[in-house]
Chains A and B, each alone.
Chain A
């Protein structure tokens, strides 16, 4: 069974078709990269899958369960965690409190110990008592990623999770992604950093103008003429 199945998903804003008939599936323990130029519909796709936007048509299944037009909090509880392009943090709460907000079910008494483990894993224990709003940009991305770890979801969507992050913190995030994948988690990653995509993604989906123009292993799609056109604007030869 696929972890995520997206079928003919569509969403328009006014006259602009942001996502136009996208179909793909993600298998357990895959790390799938979604790339494409700005405005190609990547983040809109994430927002449709996570319930932030309602789709105009099509279907989304998470772990076999239909989540099309389901409320975002129900989708999160069904096993989906995500980060945002602009880190979504609770800025007036401390780093530790940010992690604890993600403990929405399970034993509340065990949550502080889990939060401590995540803090240690991401090497941010020293800022545990600081307000999230006072962190550097890289630390904020790390914290947002840590909050997803607290959720302990089956499928994790990461939207440019390493953008603007110090190389040392970037390695921490990549190490955590690989470890979680080995433990059974599945990832879909939006990235502009092609080196990162090449390094960790087994499969890449390329979007342009709201549609999938190519998909497959990185080396394969990098030479695809549709992908070259999408990025460089050259006619297909």
Chain B
């Protein structure tokens, strides 16, 4: 790369960084809220992509981890407990990690649609549980005292999203562990034959993929100031993560963030225009069909030089177990 080209890149990055860091100052309240949501969904889609795109395990239960983070914060910040928001974060993260490890050990022995169904069932079970146990206050939900400005939540989501990208990129694209995760996605039997402990790597990937949504769930609960089971544990939260990763680029390091940005902005514009998300859901359905048929690497593949993996067609259908293939 020539010095002029490098200087141009640094300049562009610097301008983008300044614009991103000063959003609350120039974007106005509406767009600051939109961009706060973009950061949140980008982080969630990147987190889902760790398990779905890199490890090849399509989860339909990731809302659980978002909800655990939200509930940890909401419960601990209730009047009478008065926990500091930042102290609630590790509690939600630890709970999400523990659940992912415990549930991952048996369910990650399943593949394809079987794993997807198992995670969906887990999410439904936790959703129902949250409506009946006492500390969640059931369907009535919990109100969280708010002490922070909208700028705080923008920066909190931004920092969390950037850290999510840097963590997932470093671990999955640059480390030995990342190669092992991708190897088990492509051929688990062969991965074992080269010495990879696939059970351990799968559970680690599941845990990483689970703790990130817990962080976003916690920030979201503090931001929105009210949660109930439907607002933080519903299946449509997972569905959003899946379609954002799918449309952005399954298994690519930043594709899911691109998908999240596009879909969340479209979502908010449809709500502003039509008052609900019915037409948005129809548009997303059409986009998913188009991606599967014509753009299996999602929007990132429109950018020159991006490698095409075509994981959508391989991971989403019922794939044959390796034991049958050999």
Which residue numbers of A lie inside 8 Å of B, CB to CB?
50-52, 71-73, 76-77, 81-82, 84-86, 88-93, 97, 100-105, 108, 111, 131, 147, 151
Known contacts A92-B185, A93-B183, A104-B195; A86/B311 CB under 8 A: no
Flag if A77 contacts B195 (CB, 8 Å).
yes
Contact A72–B182 (Cβ < 8 Å): no
The complex places the Cα of A103 from the Cα of B178 at a distance, in Å, of: 12
Residue ID in chain B nearest A43 by CB atoms: B326
| A52 and B189 contacting across the interface, CB-CB below 8 Å | yes
Complex CA gap A76/B196 in Å reads 8
Closest-by-CB residue of A relative to B307 is A131
Give the complex CA separation of A93 and B186 in angstroms.
Answer: 8
A92/B195 in contact, CB under 8 A? no
What range describes how many residues of B lie at the interface? Answer: 20 to 34
Residues of chain A with a CB closer than 8 A to B183's CB? 90, 93, 101
Judge if B236 is at the interface, Cβ distance under 8 Å.
Answer: no
Nearest-neighbour CB distance to chain A for B186, whole angstroms, equals 4
Contacts of A90 in B (CB 8 A): 182-183, 186-187, 190-191
B182 touches A97 (CB 8 A): yes
A88 & B193 in contact (Cβ 8 Å cutoff): yes
Shortest distance in angstroms between B181's beta carbon and chain A's nearest beta carbon? 10
The interface residues of chain B lying within 8 Å CB-to-CB of A85 are 326
| Residues of A contacting B196 in the complex (Cβ-Cβ under 8 angstroms) | 73, 101, 104
The 8 Å CB contact of A84, one of B175, B195, B309, B326, is B326
Task: State whether A72 and B186 are in contact (beta carbons under 8 Å apart), knowing that A86-B326, A92-B311, A108-B176 are contacts in the complex.
Answer: no
Q: Are B187 and A89 in contact (CB under 8 A)?
A: yes
Separation of A90 and B251 alpha carbons in the complex (Å): 14
Contact with A along B141-185 (1 / 0, CB 8 A): 000000000000000000000000000000000011001101101
The answer to whether B194 touches A91 (Cβ under 8 A) is no
Q: Which B residues touch A93, using CB under 8 A?
A: 179, 182-183, 186
For B182, give the chain A residue with the smallest CB separation. Answer: A93
In the bound complex, what is the Cα–Cα distance between A157 and B215 (angstroms)?
47
Assembled-state Cα–Cα distance A71/B310 (Å): 31
Do A76 and B309 touch across chains, with their CB atoms under 8 A apart? Answer: no
Asked if B198 is at the interface of the complex by the 8 Å CB criterion, the answer is yes
Q: Choose among A52, A81, A88, A151 the residue that contacts B187 (Cβ–Cβ < 8 A).
A: A88
Whether A151 pairs with B194 at a CB distance below 8 angstroms is yes
Q: Residues of B contacting A50 with CB < 8 Å?
A: 193
Given contacts A50-B193, A88-B193, A101-B194, 19 further A-B contacts (CB under 8 A): A52-B192, A73-B197, A76-B192, A76-B194, A76-B195, A77-B195, A84-B190, A84-B326, A86-B326, A90-B190, A92-B186, A93-B179, A93-B183, A93-B186, A101-B182, A101-B183, A101-B196, A102-B195, A105-B195
